[in-house]
Amino acid sequence: MKILQLQLHVHEDKKKNMEQLARYMEEVRGENAGLIMVGEMFNCPYQTEYFPRYAEKEGGECWQMLSALARKHQVYLAAGSMPESDDAGNVYNTAYVFDRQGRQIAKHRKVHLFDVDIEGGQYFRESDTLTAGNGCTVFDTEFGRMGLCICFDLRFPELSLEMARRGAKLILVPAAFNMTTGPAHWELLFRARAADSQCFFAGTSAARDAGSGYTAWGHSILTSPWGEVIAQMEEKEGYQVSEIHLEDADKVRRELPLIQTASGNPVRQNGSVSVH
């Protein structure tokens, strides 16, 4: 399969962000990607005060446009994440995935909210305006089973391992690491989670904008089930296209049996192989 990762600038105007995505999807259609992916909060500045103002219910205007774009271009669209509101007034950091017919096939609400206070570095509290989700999200495609999580979720290996146990071979991670955490941990975490979970990991960021209220690291990345970097961008706006074979995850799991999966792949314990 071909995966195309769009690393876009995020503008204050929600409509401008949606129009930008539509324009890029038109421009890249010649790449014949099966899956197009964008970054975390791709239609909303990554600042807590914006989240409630930009939030829409599932099925809202932006959701409708994303569905239409997937259908128009006949691609799977992993639509980064955006603020979602519910009937109770909660706001979530939510990622949607649409199939080639524009049908929603996955939805993940960020489980681990980004509440950090790093001395001399980044301070941020998503929980000031966001509510945490509580799900482990996997979904099926014509290419195979995939998983979905958002940014800070990546730091908790149990979630990635559970997606792998449920059969995911590629895990999609819309993310927005910053100028403190990005240089320190971006590549390190994507390589580590890929090696731990024996999955492909696709991390897609916004482009870096030093004039914004939150400066993203950029460097959208794709790592292999062996923990290698397949492709990585720099900080600028643009895209990268990679061709991968999801059965490579099966090969790595046969050769190095580390985890039990729903399909019955073995887990190694105390020098022996057992299946539960």
Residue pair 83/93 in contact (Cβ under 8 Å)? The answer is: yes
**Which among 62, 136, 149, 151 is annotated as catalytic?**
151
- Cα dihedral 25, 27, 28, 29, rounded to 10, equals 80
Which residues, 6+ apart, have CB-to-CB distance to 232 below 8 Å? Answer: 187, 219, 220, 221, 222, 240
Which residues, 6+ apart, have CB-to-CB distance to 252 below 8 Å? Answer: 198, 225, 226
DSSP classification of residue 206? P
Residue from 141, 203, 136 nearest 169 by CA: 141
- Rounded CA separation 127/234 (Å): 30
**Which among 56, 62, 84, 110 is annotated as catalytic?**
110
Residue pair 91/65 in contact (Cβ under 8 Å)? The answer is: no
Would residue 151 show up in a list of annotated catalytic residues for this protein? yes
Tell the residue number behind the tokens 């961008």, with chain if given: 233
For residue 134, what are its two tokens?
């509580």
DSSP classification of residue 109? E
Cα radius of gyration (the chain): 18
**Which among 40, 56, 84, 126 is annotated as catalytic?**
40
Would residue 110 show up in a list of annotated catalytic residues for this protein? yes
Write out the catalytic residue numbers.
40, 110, 151
